[in-house]
Chains A and B, each alone.
Chain A
Amino acid sequence: YTPLQNQLGPQLSQEHPSQQSAAYKERVIHLNRADAEGRVQFRSNSISTTKYTVVTFWPKFLFEQFRKAPNAFFFLIALLQQIPGISPTGRFTTAVPLSIIMLLTAIKEVVEDWVRQSLPATSEHKQPSQLHSLQGQLVCEPPDDDTTKFKGSLYLDQVRYPVSLNQLLMRGTCLRKTSYVIGLVVYTGADTKVMKNSKPVPLKRSRVERESNRYFLLLLLILAFFTLFTTVANMVWTSRIGPFAWYITNNEISVGHFGAVLITCFIMFHTIVPISLQVTLEFMRIFQAYFIQCDLDMYDPIADIAAEARTSSLNEELGQVNFIFSDKTGTLTQNSMVFQGATVAGRMYGDAVSNGAEAYEFVSGVNSMRSEAAQGQNKDLDDFLSILTVCHTVIPERDSHDNLLEYSASSPDESALVYAAKDMGYELFERSLDTFVIVKVNGEMRRFEVLATFEFTSDRKRMSMVVRCPNGAIRVFCKGADSVIFSRLQSPHLVSETTNHMSKFAMAGLRTLCIAVGDMPQSEWSRLHTEYENARNDIERREAKLALVAEKLEKNLRLLGATAIEDRLQVGVPATINDLLLAGIRIWVLTGDKLETAVNIGYSCRLLQPEMEVRSAVAELSHWLCGIASVKGKEPALVIEGESLSWASHQSVRNEFIDVCLQCRTVICCRVSPKQKSDVVRYVREAMPSAVTLAIGDGANDVPMIQESHVGVGLKGKEGLQAAAASDYSLSQFRFLKKLLLVHGAWNYHRVTIVILFSFYKNITIYVTAFWFALWTQALYNVFFTGATPFALGVWDRSCSVENCMRYPQLYRESQGSDRYNFKVFALWMLNGVYHSAIIFLCVLLAVSTGAVFSDGKTAGLYYLGSLVYAIAVITVGLKAGLEHTAWTGMSHLAIWGGIGNYLVFLVISSNFFPHAGGNFSEVVGYDRALFGSGMFWYLLMLVPALALTRDVAWKAYKKTCRKTLREEVFEMEKLRKDPSTVLFQGTYRKVTEKARLLRNAVGGRSADASANLGDSGPAVEASRGVNLDEEAGPAASAASAASSAAEAGTVGRLRLTVSH
C-alpha cells in the first residue's frame, strides 16, 4: 500500500452516502480538527477477547460453575450439613472438598483466560508533520458487520473523492509490501468490522459433559428413592418398634423427626454422586491437554510451533466430531501459486496422470516448455509468453543495484505467471504503470507500449490490455476464465483441444486461465481511444463505462491456450482429508474465494472426487433455489456462493436448504463473509443438534466460525494470530488435525467416558452398600483410595495404538456416535455397581452373621463390618479399574495398587495414631490389627472381589471373542502381531460401511422428505428456476461442460449445473 492520498484517486461510487435514507446515522470523521466540532466521541480502541474481566470473573465463574448440576447439588449438601445434629458425615465433609475444587477450577480458568488474552492493542502512530495541515472530512457508513461493503466520501479542499472497500484496511490486516501506511481511522475498537463480526467468547461444554448432566438427574432420582425409602422405613420401624426399644431415646415420630431423618438420609446417600468426579475430570483434562501440546507429531519444526490446547474442557469432544468446517486460504492451501503447465496452440505441456487411486497427479510441463521457448521456433508460444509477461498488474521491484528483488502483485496467481515466464526466458524487466512494459527475452529487450488497461474484476472475469508491440502493431492481450474468453473468439479454432487439456488440468486440481490475443487496426484504436479516455476520466461511472469500452475491444480474439497454476496445498492436506472422510467426518469448506478457485481446491485436496456429482449454485441477479435430484451411484456435492447463501438461509427455505446440504457428501461455500461462515455452522448445529462441529481457520475472518462451532481450531498461520487466539486448540498445520482427532480425540473420548462411568460406578458400589445397611463410611473413599484409579484411566489409558488410530481412520467412527456413552451404557454401569455392592454386602453379611469372627472367640461389631465392606469395595473397584484399562502403564499400577495400599496405610495410621482425636479416629482404634489379624478379612479379600468381578471378566471375554468391536479386533491383531488390515478390509469393513450406510440413511431420511418438499416449494420459487447447462448459452462450450460430457465416458463426473433466473 502506498500512502492513502495516492490511493484516493477519483473512484466510482454508486451512491452518495448522504442520499441514503435516514434509517441509520452516517459517521462523519473530521481530519485534524481538535475543536469542538471535530471532537466526536467514538468507542475506545481497546478490545478484549477474553472470557472474563477482573470485575466479571467471580459472578460469571460462579454462575458457570453452579450451572453444572453436580456443583449446585454439592453446594446444597454443604448448606444442609451446616444444620447442627443432622449430618451423619460431619459439617465440612462436602464444603471443604467443594471449596477446594472450586478454587482449583478458578485457577485453571484464570490461567486459560490469561493465555487467551493475547490480542494486542493497536500501536501508537507517528504522524508526519505535513499531514497536520490536511483538512477535510470523511462521511461514511456507521459501523456494521458486513466486510464486503464500505461506502463513503472523503472531502478534501471541497473536492469529493468516493471511498470504497478498496481503501479500507480492516483490523487484523497484515502489511506485506510496505513497512507503514498513513491512514485515517474510521472505526475503532468494538466498532471495527472484525469485532462487529465476532461474538462474545462462548462458554463451550462438551457433549459428554452435557449428557453427563442428564445422567446426573437419573442419579438424583435414585438418591431420592433411597432417601424416601429409608426415611419411610425409619418411620415404620420407629412407630412399630420404637416405643418398645427402651434403649433408644427420643424415639417418637413428629414432623421435625421426619424432616431430620429425611435430611440425614439425603446427606448420607448423596455420596453416591461422586464429588471427586469434577475435579478428577478437570485435572485429567489438563493432563490430556498437556499431552496434546507435547505431541511431537503435531509439532512443526520449521515454524517451531507446537500444538496448543487453549481450553481443556473439550478434549473428549475431539473424539466425536461429525462436521469439519474449514477455511481454504492459509488452512488448506499455502496461498502461494505455482505455475505447473500450459496448453499452447493445442499442445499440452505437462499432463495429468492417474496415480492408481481416484486422484490424478500432475506432471509438470515447465521443463518441456522452457526448452521449447529457448529454441524460439514456436510463434504461438512466443505470443503466449509475451502475454504472460505483459498483461498483468505486477510491478518489478529492484534494489539500488538494479537487481530484481521481487515481483509485487496483488494476486498470487499473477506473480506466479510472471515468475514462470521469467523462468522460461521472458523476464519482466521494467514496467511503468499505464505507459510501457519492457520485457527481456533471451537478452533482447522488447518494449511494449501500454495503450489501455482493463483490470480484472470478479464480474468481468478477465483482464485485457491494449499494447503497441515492438513491431508497431496494436494488439489486445486478454486472459480470463474460459467461459468469458470462449464467447469472444473469432473462430472455434483450438477450442476443443484447449478444453480437453483444461479438463485434464482441472482433474489434477489446477487453476486454469485462458489466454487470447486480438489484432486491432490503428483506425479502430483511434476511435476507441477517445472513448477509453472519456471513460477513464468519468468519476461517477468509471467502472461501468470502462467495461463498455472493454466489451468493444475484446472481440474477434484468437485463442492461444491456457495456463495451469497450482494453488499449493499445505503439506499432507489431501491425505488428511481422505482419512478424515474415511473417519466418517464430513468436511465443508467455507471460503471467501471465488467459486472456481474453491472448486479447484476441492478437487485437488480430494474433497471433491471425480465420481462425485458436483453442483454449484451461483447467484445471478435474483433468487434461486437448488434442489438435488438423486443421481444413482453418485454422491452429491454442493458448491454455493455467499450471495446465494444469504438468500438460501432465509427463514422460509433455510431448513430445506440445510437438508439439501446435509444430503451432500460435501459442501463448499465460497465468497462468504465471516458472519456467514458462523451462520452456516449455526444452521448445521440447529439442524443436527446431536452432531459435533469443528471449525478450522487461520484468519481473523474465521473467528466467528471458530467461536460458533463446538470445537474451534485455529491455525497459527501467516494471517496473524487472531484465529488461534480465539480458538480452543491451535495447530500449525492442517494435517495435524488428523492426529488431534483420530488419536487424541478418540483416546480422550474413551478416557473421559470411562472415567465418568467408572466414577459413578465406584460410588454406587461403595455407597449402595450403605443403603443395604444404612451405614455410613468414611468420606475419604473418593479422594485417596480410588481417586487415582480413574485419573490413571483418564490420563494414561490408550484404547488403540497411535499407529493404528492413524492408519485406520475408520476406528474414529466408534467414538463419533454415542455407542459407547449413552443412557443405556450409563444405566448398565450403574446396575453393575449395584450388583457389585450387593455381592460385597451379602458376602460380608454372611461372614459376620455369627458375630464371632476371630480365632480367639472375640466378637466384632458395626465398625468392623464397615471397615471390611470398605476394604473389599476399595479392592474390587481398583481391580475393576484394572479390568477397564486397555493399557496398563506404570501409572496404572501406581494408581491401582497405590490406591489399595493407600487404604491399608490409612487404616494403620488412623487406628494407631489418633486415639484421642475424637470422631471416627477414636472409634477405629486398633482396627488395623482387628482386620489384618482376622482370617476372615483375608478370606473375604480373596473371595469377594473374585466373585464380584466374575461376571465382568466372563462377559468381557465373551464379547471380545464373539462380539468384537472394530477397535477390539484391531487391538487383538496388534497384540498377535498380525496385520489388522485383513479384518478391516475383509469382513469388518463391511460392518463399518454398514454402519455408515445406516447413518447416512438416518440423515438421508430427513433429506428425502426435504427434497420432496422442495419439489412443491411454491410457485414463486418454481418460476425462478431455470436450468442451463452453462451460464453462457452460446456456441462455445465451456471446459466444465466438456468435462461433463467426459463424465458420460466414465472418466470424470463433474457436472456443472447453474440455476439462474
Chain B
Amino acid sequence: MLEPVEDSQAVVRPEDDDNIDDEDLEGANNSAAAGAGNASGATSNRPPSSAFHQQKLPAWQPLLTAGTVFPVFLIMSIAFICLGVALLLANSNISELSIDYTDCKRIGDRTPCANLVKKPEFYSNYSVCQCRLEFKLDKPMTGQVYAYYALTNFHQNHRKYVKSHDRMQLSGRRYSDLDAECEPYRTSADGKWIAPCGAVANSLFNDTFKLMRRVGSLETVPWTVKGISWSADVARKYGRVDTWNGTAKPPNWAVPESARSPIGYTGDEELQVWMTVAALPTFRKLHRRLIHSDKSAYAEGLPAGNYSLLVNYSYPVAGFGGTKSFVLATAGLLGGRNAGLGGLAIAVGCLHLALCCALAMLHTHAKRNRETDPYYGMDPLHRALCTCQEIIFLGSVINMFG
C-alpha cells in the first residue's frame, strides 16, 4: 500500500523474479548502477568510484611463508658472513696501545701522583705532578697514529653535567647573561661572567703529555692539536670571541680561555673535544694527531722501539675510582680497533643461516605434508603429531652431520 502502482505491477510480475539469489542481486545491482551511471551527474549521491575511494589500490602482498623466507635468509647470511670476515681482517690491521698511568709516580720522590693530585690542593695551587712512563713498541704502527686519553668511571653523561653549558656563549653570540644551567660556574666571585661557563668546561681535562722516542737520546715525537675536533665544530658550532673584557676563567682552570685561544672557542679544539660529552662513563677522547712528515722517521707511522711518556699529571680521578690512560692507535674504516663489529656480523650471518636451514626443512616438510595429507595442519592433534615428526626429523639431520 505504500506505493500502490508498484504493488499492482508486482502482482502480475513474472515468476522468475520472485526468488532473488545472489546472481540476480548482482545483476540487479550492476544494471542499476549502470543506469545511475548513465544518468550521471546532477543530484547523485553516488560515491566516487576511484580505486582509492573503493579501497582497491593496487597492492603488493608478500607471502611470508617458510618457502619464501628461507632464500632471503640465505642471501642475508652470506652477505653478513662475508662482511664480518672482511671487517675482522681489516680490524687486525688496526694497532692500538693503551697505557694506564693513573698510579704513575712523581719523578724524584716516587710519590703516587694520585695521592697528590686531589681536589682541594689542586684548586688552590694548580700543582702539577710530573711523572714518566717507559714503554716499548714491539711492532711499528703504520698509517696515521692518533693519541687519545681515556677515562673510566667518569660520568660525562650525567644529566646535570650535560646541561651545564651555554651554547650561545660557545658560538660567540653571547658574552653576558649566561644560561642559568651554568650555575654555579656562571659568574666568578667578583661578579664577572665565567668564560666558558658551566660544569663541563670547568672540568676540562688538563693533563698534558710529551711522547719521546729513545733513539740514543730522547726525541720528541711531533704531533698537533689541529684537526682533533669535528670540522663542523670548528667551523660553526664554536665561534670567535671579540673581547674578553669582563670575563673570568673557570675556577678549575690555570689559565683563562684568552690565553689558550685568543681568537675564541673556535680555536680551542681540546675544549671542543671535551665538550662533546661522552656517551658512556668509560670513554676515550682524541688528544693529538701525530705528524707524519715525509722525510722523518714517522713518515710510515710510529716505528717500533722504546718510548718514554712524560705526563703532567694534574687531573684528579682517583677520588671517584676512575682511571686515566694514554692511548696510541690507528683507525680503520669503522674507527678504532673493535673485533666485536666483525664478530657481530658473523654471528648475525650464522643466525640467519641456521634459520634458513630450519625454514627450508620446514618448507619441504610442509610441502610433503600438504601433498600427502588432505587434513594437513588443520586438526590440532594432527598438528601436534606433525610437530613431533619435525623434531625427530631435525634430530636425525643433526645426527647425520654430527
Contacts and interface: CB of A to CB of B under 8 A. Distances in A.
Contacts of B3: 336
A336 B10 contact: yes
A175 to B, nearest CB: 12
A956 B283 contact: no
Contacts of B154: 245, 247
A660 B108 CA distance: 101
B168 A987 contact: no
B144 interface: yes
A645 interface: no
Interface residues of A, number: 132
Contacts of A843: 344
B295 interface: no
Contacts of B43: 304
Interface string A926-940: 110110001110010
Given A294-B47, A887-B60, A88 B159 contact: yes
A609 to B, nearest CB: 16
B6 interface: yes
A305 B45 contact: yes
B320 A847 contact: no
B143 to A, nearest CB: 10
A861 B279 contact: yes
A956 B154 CA distance: 44
A864 B11 contact: no
Interface stretch (B25-33, B130-138, B209-217, B297-305): B25-33
Interface stretch (A112-120, A407-415, A1032-1040): A407-415
B61 A939 contact: no
Most buried by A among B164, B183, B277, B377: B377
A990 B319 CA distance: 73
Contact of A987 (B70, B203, B375): B375
B1 interface: yes
Contacts of A130: none
Contacts, number: 373
Most buried by A among B1, B232, B332, B352: B1
Interface string A788-804: 00000000101000100
Nearest to A410: B1
Given A862-B278, A925-B237, A987-B376, A846 B344 contact: yes
Interface string A192-213: 0000000000000000000000
B157 A572 contact: no
Nearest to B67: A961
Contact of A864 (B4, B279, B383): B279
Interface string A961-993: 111100000011001000000000011101100
A323 interface: no
B164 A249 contact: yes
Most buried by B among A249, A845, A848, A923: A249
Nearest to A743: B55
B87 to A, nearest CB: 8
Given A953-B69, A958-B66, A960-B64, A862 B279 contact: yes
A943 B331 contact: no
A587 to B, nearest CB: 19
A934 B230 CA distance: 12
A88 B286 CA distance: 29
Interface string B130-164: 00000000000000101010100111111111101
Contacts of A962: 362, 366, 377, 383, 386-387
B374 interface: yes
Contacts of B400: none
Contacts of A339: 11
Contacts of B348: 943, 946-947, 950
Interface stretch (A29-37, A51-59, A362-370): A362-370
Contacts of B352: 946, 950
B402 interface: no
A296 B335 contact: no
Interface string B276-302: 111110111110010000000000000
Nearest to B162: A862
B10 A936 contact: no
A930 B12 CA distance: 84
Contacts of B359: 954, 957-958, 961
B125 interface: no
A306 interface: yes
A926 B237 contact: yes
A248 B199 contact: yes
B189 interface: no
A296 B54 contact: yes
B335 A987 contact: no
A848 B345 contact: no
A409 B1 contact: yes
**Category for how many chain B residues contact A:** 35 or more
Interface string B1-32: 11111111011110100111110010011001
Contacts of B276: 859-863
Interface stretch (A467-475, A651-659, A723-731, A888-896): A888-896
A419 B46 contact: no
A633 interface: no
Interface in A377-428: 405-409, 411-412, 415-416, 419-420, 422-423
B333 interface: yes
Interface in A175-190: 176
A15 interface: no
B49 A296 contact: yes
Nearest to A241: B320
Contact of A915 (B119, B236, B319): B236
B286 A862 contact: no
Contact of A572 (B25, B280, B345, B377): B25
B167 interface: yes
B378 A988 contact: yes
Given A296-B54, A960-B65, A972-B63, A922 B76 contact: no
B35 A301 contact: yes
Contact of B285 (A251, A859, A892): A859
A420 B331 contact: no
A957 B64 contact: yes
A858 interface: yes
Contacts of B33: 296, 299, 301
A392 to B, nearest CB: 12
Contacts of A889: 57-59
20 contacts: A246-B316, A411-B1, A415-B4, A796-B55, A850-B335, A852-B146, A853-B334, A853-B336, A856-B331, A860-B279, A861-B277, A861-B278, A863-B276, A888-B60, A915-B236, A918-B168, A930-B232, A953-B64, A953-B69, A961-B65
Q: Which 5 A-B pairs have the closest CB atoms?
A: A926-B232, A987-B378, A247-B203, A406-B4, A852-B336
Interface of B: 1-8, 10-13, 15, 18-22, 25, 28-29, 32-33, 35-36, 43-49, 53-70, 72-73, 76, 80, 83, 119, 144, 146, 148, 150, 153-162, 164, 167-168, 171, 173, 183-185, 199, 202-203, 227-233, 235-237, 273, 276-280, 282-286, 289, 316, 319-321, 329-338, 340-341, 344-345, 348, 351-352, 355, 358-359, 362-363, 366, 374-380, 383, 386-387
